[in-house]
Amino acid sequence: YYGVDAKKLVLQWLSEKIYQEIKDEEYGLEALQLAESRVAYKSKLFNNNTLIKQADELKAQLDQKRPLSKAHLAKLMDYYKVEYTYDSNRIEGNTMTLKETALVIEKGLTISGKSVREHFETVNHVKWPLLKKAATNFLYQASGNSRQVYNQFCDDEAHWLFDYSLFMAVKEKNELRPWWQWPVEQKLRYQEAIDQLWNELNVNAELYRIIQFFFYSQWLSVKKYANERGIKIIGDIPLYIAHDSADAWCNPSIFMFDGNRNPIWVAGVPPDYFSETGQLWGNPLYNWEVLKSTGFRWWIDRVKANLKLYDIVRIDHFRGLCAYWAVPFGETTAIRGEWINAAGREMLEAIGHELGELNLIAEDLGVITPDVVELREGNNLPGMKILQFAFDSADDNDFRPHTYTRNCIVYTGTHDNDTTAGWYKSAKNEDLQSMRDYFEPDEDHIHWAFIRLAWSTVAGIAIAPAQDILGLGTECRMNLPGKPSGYWRWRLLPGQLTETHANQLARLTRIFGR
């Protein structure tokens, strides 16, 4: 059920029992070395510096990361077993990526594991109580200097941090139910109820702020390490945020809610290449008139915060800034939706006016109309080209490399695509023939053929997922659009990228001047 063998489950259960018997007040977090043994799993962020060193050696200039926020779209199984999906929260960092040895107490948090797929339920179950324990220790034991740095963090991030921390504390109080199932005075944020919640939950809310402080401290350290070596990090801004999020609870006026805070319309995309019934995402949609009346303050703060975490930010579902697919709340598929115009042009103007140069990428895939192209080009934003889309029989296919311009980014495939090796095995015969006619690849090493083709284009940036560098198959694809569970679990293990991979990638990088 957890994706690990029964022995580890038994060991985990025993470790928890042992830990309960150990007086943690006496032994502190060092007791966890005895209690946990080798039960839990190494965090994803643990080896980021190693990855950055490898990227430096390969002369790579960009390192595209998975979204860093926790997902709230998937249904919670229980308190600790949360199914991980692509996130849509605004700024909150995913604390499951925290490196254990960099917490407040440096010893006793050694976690090991070699699973090729991330087991988020088990990680959450083991790690979250430890993070709360570390935050509690910080709250009562932090030095004056550490406390000063933390207070400055709270001041800098006040525009979202306090709302978020109260939201999480109230959610915990309400047994993790979504906010629209809370008592009505909490759901509708009556001022008297909010004041009472702050009085009751102030300490627990601060623990959530401290854990975010841990995350930001570690992540910005990793980013600094990368930037000092000439490596830039790309992050994502999902266009929409989760319904069950602090943003939706605290800022209901900027969403299309009725008087009871139920969505009137929800987000999705119409039927396309990925799904015959479209994709019903279910996120609340923006009230663009209200956003416009505020000068797009919420969006400006969101982009500014993400550009602090990343060097370049990709706006997912960029076409939704021109017009978006709105599905009536309660529909079971996205088929019965309609296009509604957005105010993306005014929003990007407001962001550019305050922040200056827009270090943004437009994810311009899907149903792209002339107004989307105009919005992207008018703001000088690079779009995306996907090689896996280049080899259908259409004569006007603008994913074919000879149509590219400098101001675009070419991917062998994205997180939503199959791996290149997986695509090759499942592609239609006519598509394979089109590929052969186009560039006569070495089909025994199809992944390297695609990487070589991407690197050879005029596109300003070329990106290949780690799965393609390794030549992995469908079983290692990151995501399958329209499938809410079972994905976003593949992980790169230490040692998988070898000197052979490094030399081949470095060779192509030199040949094509990247």
Return the active site residues.
Answer: 316, 363, 416
For residue 247, give the nearest of 357, 473, 239 by alpha carbon.
239
Q: DSSP assignment, residue 341?
A: E
- Could you give phi then psi for residue 5, rounded to 5 degrees? -75, 165
Strand partners, 326: 267, 338
E strand or H helix that includes residue 469 = helix 466-470
Find the DSSP H helices in 337-400.
344-355, 370-378
| 63 Rama class: left (phi>0) / alpha (psi -120 to 50) / beta | beta
What is the per-residue burial (b if ≥16 Cβ within 10 Å, else e) of 278-311? bbbbbbbbbbbeebeeeebebbbebbebbbebbb
Distance, in Å, from the CA atom of 245 to the CA atom of 247, rounded to the nearest integer, reads 5
DSSP class of residue 111 equals: -
Distance CA(180)–CA(255), nearest Å, equals 14
Contact 281, 243 (CB under 8 A): no
- Per DSSP, what are the bridge partners of residue 312? 234
Return d(Cα 111, Cα 100) in angstroms, integer.
8
